[in-house]
Structure 1
């Protein structure tokens, strides 16, 4: 007897194909401004942004997406992953290779097909997923080509969101808020980090969303001195702090949020958190079109300088968000950064301060840059939660 199965798509593009074509056109415009004749996109988040494919199969070999203005893009991928790349991306032209040593010859041949001899190709040299050995192998295969660093090109285009993207991010933030409220409700003496994480996963799933609490930073007591840490069988005690950094995810877009709490009283946590709120609100006030990333960072540091505590902040005040939580090479709100903010950019500002005893406590907001300033996406107050 033959069993019939209904034809169910193995996967589907998160957005219409026209949306990916629009994004590619924006990248072509940026390439023209940068005097690039071709671009090899290798960062997984950038691949997902431009093609729909999440790059999960490219964990140990590069999967370059070759972009040439006026031409159809070409994906160069590991043969084993063809079954995932074809239905998971909008790209029709896909060239496979089998082993690592096949990557450079196959990729170089694809580039030559575009007739780019003597032209300039951009590489994402400052991103993950492209090793120095990969670059050297390509240079050996294409001695007549010029290579340029194009680390920031796709990131700058992706920083400005469409209404379609913002709708997705707003839903992701709704799930983040569900997760934070679950975290706060779960804080009782003796409750473990693992138990709270399970509550979060259950509550977000009931709300129709996705969040992975078991892989997020969730820490109690002395463990809040860790810069990152997944939940353990560690209980919270009275007069101890709790810390969470977590984000809902929708169609690959993550909306992260930091929240802190105290079960009872904890003087150092209360001091650090009070300062973090002041820093965060100064940062948000500085966000507006035309401001530079460095100016926003400076606004936050000035608060701590006035309090005589500049050493409490030992990292950047924020970063560009969108597909994936972060991508190396994206806009960073850090000292001296010259990136100019534009409307419809989304930013996460985790203001986590390091106290004299080593506690890492703070708060954050995820904002949308508007014509007038910044719109806070979360509906959960960034005040210290006291249980």
Structure 2
């Protein structure tokens, strides 16, 4: 069944329709899997082939999907109207036929495109197939509406954070017997599967020792020394909504590891204290960096402070293209925004050390969506 009520989906679609009418456009073709899911509820891991949600400004929306995905439309989408692609060699031809059958084959139509999938949509071919359409390429029609999450979306994110925290604890406990970082990763993945997490936009990053300082390094059967720490950045997904959290864990964490972790945790606390509606993204970023700078460690924090978190499909986890927190960013925070705070320190010879949290902006400030203490983990966690 769809993840949200028909009323919530209808509100989302009407927001897009109003934006189309304001622009003087007749329809939108939505191709990003996140935005198709956001507006219709339909999703599939098979988004590597052409699929689209068409939202006319004044007619009912409809889906154009691969024929073997029709069952997923029935199960997940509140929009039942659909056209099936029964021959991938003719995907765009069939899409054009569907547009004609629905009477959406003229006027100005927004085509949602992005760098990863533009080759699928091929506006040059569509211009031949639908000669009465003026295409208006756009990648920012739906995204602004996704920035602020509803109570239902927050509930899914909160559930995902709880799964991610349980997986972190499972990873820490595995250190009693684990020989390599792959052993720890097995415990993390196992807990995520037991909890029912869907596949995530980005994999868990479970890396032992100094190798964790390499961005996006993954487990690779690295031996874990008695005083090594293991970097664990874990996400989980519920109805495609993600929660993410990070900690370090070890059997006997060194003083250096704990000192750097405390700096990261202080940055999280400073950003939480600074977050509230009306504050700029840059101000929150500055609050976190000031906490780390007071400890003389600011040179080790090279990444942005946070990115928007919610709906995602591989190859990405976050919604940083919608809003993120970085130095001097003038964009203003609003209630319902959700961020993954990521003050990760990359310490030469030691590795990645950090405390990261998924938080939401409330009308009065900010709220952590998890319950795990802001502490490093040991094998008895």
TM band (smaller chain):
0.7 to 0.9
- Give the 3-state SS of the residue equivalent to 1:368 in structure 2: strand
Residue 42 (structure 1) aligns with = 31
Residue 260 (structure 1) aligns with = 248
- Give the 3-state SS of the residue equivalent to 2:176 in structure 1: coil
Of the three residues 20, 28, 36, the one matched with 2:17 is 28
Residue 354 (structure 1) aligns with = 346
1:55 partnered with 2:47: no
Deviation at 1:292, TM superposition (A): 3.2
Return 97-106 or 75-84, whichever deviates more. 97-106
- Structure 1 residues 116 and 179, CA, compared in 2 at 3 Å: closer, same or farther? same
Deviation at 1:14, TM superposition (A): 2.7
Of the three residues 364, 367, 374, the one matched with 1:375 is 367
Return 373-382 or 226-235, whichever deviates more. 226-235
Q: How does 1:195-206 map to 2 (within 5 A)?
A: 195-203=183-191
1:313 partnered with 2:301: yes
Deviation at 1:380, TM superposition (A): 0.6
1:210 partnered with 2:197: yes
User: Which whole-Å CA distance do the structure 2 matches of 1:296 and 1:144 have between them?
Assistant: 48
Deviation at 1:28, TM superposition (A): 2.3
- Structure 1 residues 303 and 70, CA, compared in 2 at 3 Å: closer, same or farther? same
Q: What do the CA deviations read for 1:223-267 (whole angstroms, capped 9, x no partner)?
A: 323322444433321111111111232222221111112432435
Deviation at 1:296, TM superposition (A): 2.9
Return 218-227 or 367-376, whichever deviates more. 218-227
Residue 150 (structure 1) aligns with = 138
TM-score, with length taken from structure 1: 0.83
Gaps of 5+ in 2: none
Deviation at 1:361, TM superposition (A): 1.9
Q: What do the CA deviations read for 1:292-336 (whole angstroms, capped 9, x no partner)?
A: 334433433444556665542332221222223435743222345
Contact 1:201 1:212 in 2 (8 A): no
- Give the 3-state SS of the residue equivalent to 1:280 in structure 2: helix
1:363 partnered with 2:355: yes
Deviation at 1:268, TM superposition (A): 4.7
Of the three residues 206, 211, 235, the one matched with 1:223 is 211
Contact 2:310 2:319 in 1 (8 A): no
Return 74-83 or 104-113, whichever deviates more. 104-113
Of the three residues 333, 336, 339, the one matched with 1:344 is 336
Deviation at 1:140, TM superposition (A): 4.1
Aligned residue-pair number: 373
Q: How does 1:109-258 map to 2 (within 5 A)?
A: 109-112=97-100, 113-115=102-104, 117-119=106-108, 121-126=109-114, 128-131=116-119, 134-142=122-130, 145-188=133-176, 190-203=178-191, 208-210=195-197, 215-258=203-246
- Structure 1 residues 32 and 304, CA, compared in 2 at 3 Å: closer, same or farther? farther
Contact 1:48 1:55 in 2 (8 A): no
Deviation at 1:69, TM superposition (A): 2.4
User: Which whole-Å CA distance do the structure 1 matches of 2:135 and 2:291 have between them?
Assistant: 43
- Structure 1 residues 328 and 377, CA, compared in 2 at 3 Å: closer, same or farther? closer
Q: What do the CA deviations read for 1:75-112 (whole angstroms, capped 9, x no partner)?
A: 12223433433433222221233445523333344445
Return 316-325 or 350-359, whichever deviates more. 350-359
Residue 6 (structure 1) aligns with = none
User: Which whole-Å CA distance do the structure 1 matches of 2:311 and 2:130 have between them?
Assistant: 32
Contact 2:198 2:238 in 1 (8 A): no
Gaps of 5+ in 1: 1-11
TM-score, with length taken from structure 2: 0.84
User: Which whole-Å CA distance do the structure 1 matches of 2:378 and 2:68 have between them?
Assistant: 52
Q: How does 1:87-126 map to 2 (within 5 A)?
A: 87-100=75-88, 102-112=90-100, 113-115=102-104, 117-119=106-108, 121-126=109-114
Contact 1:182 1:200 in 2 (8 A): yes
Q: What do the CA deviations read for 1:48-76 (whole angstroms, capped 9, x no partner)?
A: 121122132222x2211111123111212
- Structure 1 residues 328 and 102, CA, compared in 2 at 3 Å: closer, same or farther? farther
Contact 2:282 2:330 in 1 (8 A): yes
User: Which whole-Å CA distance do the structure 1 matches of 2:292 and 2:244 have between them?
Assistant: 24
Query: How large is the RMSD of aligned CA atoms in angstroms?
Result: 3.1
